[in-house]
Amino acid sequence: MIGNGAVVLAEGAPSLQPLTAATGVFGYLWILIALPLFGAAVLLLGGRRTNKWGPYLGVLTVSLAAIYAIILLVSLMGRPAEERAIGQTLFEWVFVGGFSVPVALQLDQLSMVFVLLITIVGSLIHVYSLGYMEHDPDRRRFFGFLNLFIASMLLLVLADNYLLLYVGWEGVGLASYLLIGFWQWKPSAAAAAKKAFIMNRVGDVGLSLAIMLIFVTFGTVTFDSVFAAAGEANESTLTWIGLLLLLAACGKSAQFPLQAWLLDAMEGPTPVSALIHAATMVTAGVYLIVRSNPIYDGTAFALTAVVIIGVITMFMGAIIGSAKDDIKKALAGSTMSQIGYMVLAAGLGPIGYVFAIFHLLTHGVFKANLFLGAGSVIHGMNDEQDMRRYGALRTVMVITWITFMCGYLAIIGIPPFSGFFSKDDIIHAAFEQNLLVGVCTMLAAGITGFYMTRMVIMTFFGKARWPDDAHPHESKPVMTIPLIILGIGSVVTGAALLYWGNIESWLEPVTGIEEKPLPIPAIILEGITLAVVLIGVAIAIAKYRKEVPVEAPKGNLLTVAARNSLYDDAINDALVVKPTYVLSDGSVFVDDRIIDGTVEGSARFVGGLGSRLRRLQSGFARSYALLMVAGAVIVVAILYLARLP
């Protein structure tokens, strides 16, 4: 019943790969989402009863999902390339007139890799959380929210139409809201959570409008039908759709101008930062853009916009990351910048899509690694996050240090660590497309080298600047083992995906691929890149080898600006928040005084009129008589004057 719809599609869209019916092992696609959802339901509705075993259930569901995902991958690889897109319609969801949206899942090469990233990294972080959240009274709820997040994220990447994607999109937003504000009694946390949700909401406006425009244009919101017809739509429409989707992506992926929430989001527990605000959710924007590649292919304008946004954010993030002393915020800045890379890559079009995803995957691994490492440090330094109070930790936290180094080398892109392959591919693509963009990416790589080195030195090298009460110690195995796995991941993912996994040809059917000649030979380019990175590293070493003051020095203008996250909050306040409050107070005034005032006023007027008119009733019989005489005169007058034809 699912297949036949798809066959028609295949004819309608020759360029597109057909959806094949979900049979055999794929018949249970929905289990993938159902598992963590079930976990979430049990943990959140179960109440205190589940306190004891709840967390383990949470871990279990995700791990099962991960195992199933691997099975799916294997059987997917077992299939011929043109049958690797599986569609499964579960039931009719929203249907009115011509608008009909099913709850239907679609597993193709693109969603497959996401499913893997989400479930595997997800389960590792779940395990890690067992240790990290051990003493938190609300562990149960924490794991419940995590499960909820995994479920929504899977829905997001498995949905086969935009509206269903929206549900997952908002679901992860909700989970992120709940987890950022997990320590709700901290006003800062609550505020950060609200900020994140509302800024995402702005992006959602883009997504909803995009969906409406898509429907009005194509008469459907199902991916394959839309993409099949994308070629026939006129360019301006596509441009609008592209820009609106970009707006959505900016919200979710903390891209300029909607980036301000990400740094505050670090208020959440570190595993959350690792999973949601580094590895998976924040990359959803990239997924959206890559997924919609047939639309972007039709509009150079939107693509350019995507690139510009990517470049801006890439630098902003890098600069912010270079100045923050809070280790998590520094990492958050780097996340922004790395996602900037991906968005930029996606903006390059068919040349870049694949590499955007590629970098997304490697980043997912090594950034999770770095965050969990940071978490381990924070845990060891009993919740001190200021890097200026760290130093020389390599001596006491060996595993953390080593794994962190793997992530470090990966992110700055030293061969053969994973980041090297993905980032260099992006830089290549950038140069193939446009020299300027290429140079930007290269510079950003250099800055990356700088801020990551700074972070490593301030944290693990130099003298110890610990607070007196701090007794840093290595974390428990339950935390270190995931670290180790991810550390290995940071080393191998890149090569594995590129050479063994052959990611380019794997994704090609979804994203298409395109090669252009490089202006300069690849090897030289790589050399230069590496050189730039090393320069960045060198500067950092030079700057921080010697004593790091516990109190941050004044620093030059740029540093100060960067410490204040480039004043994004100030700007938002001035441009959006303040005006909203003014507007709101204004309307309240209007409502109380003017609108309700008019109502009350008219009532009072009638009352007043009454008490004035009753004075006519003077109580003197003769004045009544006078009134009568006057009345009689009036009557005569009326009879003479007012007379119907």
Partner 1 sequence: MTSLPWLTILMVVPLVGSIIVMLLPRDRDVLPKQVALGFALLTLVLTVVMGLQFDADATAPFQFVESYPWIPALGISFSVGVDGIGLVLVALAATLVPVVILAGWNDVMPGSGRSVKGYFALILILQTLMIGVFAATDVFLFYVFFEVMLIPIYFLIGRYGGADRSYAAVKFLIYSLVGGLLMLAALIGLYVVSVQQLGQGTFDFAALVGLDIDPNTQKILFVGFFIAFAIKAPLWPFHTWLPDAAKESTPATAVLLIGVLDKVGTFGMIRYLLPIFPAASEFYAPLVVALAVIGILYGALVAFGQKDMKRLFAYSSMSHFGFIALGIFVFTTWGLSGSTFYMIAHGLSTAAIFLAAGFLMNRAGGSSLISTYGGVNKVAPVLAGFFLFAALSALALPGLASFIGEFLVLLGTFAVNVPVAVIATLGIVITAGYALKLYQKVATGPPSPAVEGMSDLRGREITTLAPIVFLTILLGVFPAPVLNVINPAVERTLEVVGVTDPPSVIPPIVQGSAP
Partner 2 sequence: MSVENYIVLACVLFTLGAIGVLVRRNAIVVFMSIELMLNAANLAFVAFARMNGNLDGQVIAFFVMVVAAAEVVVGLAIIVTVYRSRRSASIDEPNLLKY
Partner 3 sequence: MTPDVMPAPSIDYIALLPYILVGAAGVIGVIVEAFVGRGARRPIQLVLVFGSLIGAFVILVVNRATQGIQAEGALAIDGPGILFMGLILLLSILVALLMAERQLDPAGDAFAPRASALPGSEDERELTVRGYFQTEIWPLFLFSVFGMMLFVTASNLLVLFIALEIMSLPLYLMAGMSRRRRLLSQEAALKYFILGAFSSAFLLFGIALLYGYAGSVEFSAIADALAAEPGQTALVVGGTALLAVGLLFKIGAVPFHAWVPDVYQGSPAPVTAFMAAAVKVAAFGALFRVMYVALGGVRWDWEPLLWIIAGLTMLFGSVVAIAQTDIKRMIAYSSIAQAGFILIGVSTATAQGLYASIFYLVAYGFTTIGIFAIISMVRLSGGEVTRLDQWAGLGKRSPVVATSFAIFMFALAGFPLTSGFIAKFLVFESALAVDNLGLVIVGVIASVMAAFFYIRVVVIMFFREPVEGAPAAAVPSATTTLALAISVAVTVILGILPEPVINLIEQAGVFLR
Chain contacts with partner 3 (rule: CB under 8 A): 603, 606-607, 609-611, 613-614, 616-617, 619, 621, 623-625, 627-628, 630-632, 634-636, 638-640, 642-645
Strand order across the beta sheet in which 99-107 lies: 20-21, 86-96, 99-107
For residue 88, which phi and psi values (nearest 5 degrees)? -140, 115
Q: What minimum distance in Å lies between the beta carbon of 167 and partner 1?
A: 4
625, 634, 636, 637: residue in contact with partner 2 (rule CB under 8 A): 625
State how far the Cα of 357 lies from the Cα of 287, in Å rounded to an integer: 8
Does 585 engage in binding with partner 1 (CB under 8 A)?
yes
Does 521 engage in binding with partner 1 (CB under 8 A)?
no
Strand partners, 326: 386
* Strand, helix or coil for residue 95: strand
Q: What minimum distance in Å lies between the beta carbon of 600 and partner 3?
A: 13
64, 190, 392, 478: residue in contact with partner 1 (rule CB under 8 A): 190
CA angle 532, 538, 539 (to 5 degrees): 95
Does 610 engage in binding with partner 1 (CB under 8 A)?
no
Does 617 engage in binding with partner 2 (CB under 8 A)?
yes
State how far the Cα of 103 lies from the Cα of 344, in Å rounded to an integer: 32
Nearer to partner 1, 57 or 211 (CB): 211
Return the one option of partner 1, partner 3, partner 2, none that residue 436 interacts with (CB less than 5 to 8 A, by type): none
Q: What minimum distance in Å lies between the beta carbon of 580 and partner 1?
A: 7
List the interface residues with partner 1, window 137-156 (CB under 8 A). Answer: 141
157, 158, 233, 246: residue in contact with partner 1 (rule CB under 8 A): 233
Nearer to partner 3, 45 or 644 (CB): 644
Does 212 engage in binding with partner 1 (CB under 8 A)?
yes
Q: Say how many C-beta atoms besides its own lie within 10 A of residue 120's C-beta.
A: 23
Which residues of 279-390 form beta strands (DSSP E)?
Answer: none
Nearer to partner 2, 599 or 639 (CB): 639
Does 639 engage in binding with partner 2 (CB under 8 A)?
no
| List of residues 6+ apart from 589 with CB closer than 8 A | none
14, 135, 232, 549: residue in contact with partner 1 (rule CB under 8 A): 232
State how far the Cα of 105 lies from the Cα of 234, in Å rounded to an integer: 29
Does 96 engage in binding with partner 1 (CB under 8 A)?
yes
Q: For residue 490, which of 255, 274, 266 has the smallest C-alpha distance?
A: 274
Nearer to partner 2, 31 or 630 (CB): 630
Does 166 engage in binding with partner 1 (CB under 8 A)?
yes
Does 622 engage in binding with partner 2 (CB under 8 A)?
yes
Q: What minimum distance in Å lies between the beta carbon of 623 and partner 2?
A: 9
DSSP 568-619: HHHHHIIIIIHHHHHHHHHHHHIIIIIIHHHHHHHHHHHHHHHHHHGGG--S
Does 619 engage in binding with partner 2 (CB under 8 A)?
yes
For residue 35, which phi and psi values (nearest 5 degrees)? -55, -65
Q: For residue 143, which of 50, 222, 76, 80 has the smallest C-alpha distance?
A: 50
Nearer to partner 3, 91 or 640 (CB): 640
Contact 401, 342 (CB under 8 A): no
State how far the Cα of 106 lies from the Cα of 100, in Å rounded to an integer: 17
Q: What minimum distance in Å lies between the beta carbon of 581 and partner 2?
A: 51
Does 236 engage in binding with partner 1 (CB under 8 A)?
no
Does 205 engage in binding with partner 1 (CB under 8 A)?
yes
Footprint of partner 2 on this chain (CB under 8 A)?
614-615, 617-622, 625-626, 629
